[in-house]
Structures are given as C-alpha cells and as structure tokens.
Amino acid sequence: MADGLGLGRNVFSRMVREERSDSCLRVNRYPPLMCGVETLSGQNLIEFGEHTDPQIISVLRSNNTSGLQICLTDGTWASIPPDHSSFFVNVGDLLQTSLVTEHHL
C-alpha cells in the first residue's frame, strides 16, 4: 500500500512498531439487532455511534448485516448496502494524517 501511495516502503512498519502506537490487529463482531428491536420509542437504535477509526486502516465485512454508513462531504449519511462477498476498507486517522503530512494536502 505504501508503494502505491508513493511513500517509503517502511512507513507503515515504523508506525506499527512505534512504542506509543495503538495499532494492532483487532477483531470485532457486531451482531445484527434482534428482530423487532430496531426502534425504541420511535427512535432508531445505534449499535456503535458516529466515530472515526484511529488506526491505519480498518477492514470490514458485512456478513449480510446492514447498518454501515459513511458521512459524505456535505455532512449527510449514506447507508452502505451489505455485500457478503466484499470487504470494505476504510482509511483510518493515522493513515489520513500521514498522507496530509507527507503530501501537504
């Protein structure tokens, strides 16, 4: 990935090996909401609230469970349809910050 971005080959290795780095391999499971529990007092339930991912990248698999949304540049939220045959790769804060610093974006 670093080669494709025109960065040094070891740039990500340095980030992961940094003593203060919180980069790690983490596996999370977000089970679907139980049927009939989608609303509480007429409001949508949120399993994992609005956030950014602090790591280099996040790799997600939907397993046919809906709920993934992305924030568009105009501030609106778009639902991403589940796809059991695909992985979603999100750029994390650490990579985004590194690209801005390295390329002065």
Distance between CA 102 and CA 87 in Å, rounded?
27
- Whether 28 contacts 60, CB under 8 Å: no
Tens of pLDDT, residue by residue over 42-67, are 555 556 778 888 888 888 887 777 77
Beta-bridged to residue 78, according to DSSP, are 70
Predicted pLDDT at 47: 67
Q: Which residues contact 58 (CB under 8 A, 6 or more apart)?
A: 89, 90, 92
- Read off the tokens for 53: 């991912």
Please determine, for residue 74, whether its predicted confidence score (pLDDT) is greater than 90: yes
Mean pLDDT of 15-42: 65
Mean pLDDT of 70-82: 89
Predicted pLDDT at 104: 44
pTM of the model: 0.62
End-to-end CA distance of the chain: 18
- Read off the tokens for 66: 């809906």
Mean pLDDT of 24-51: 65
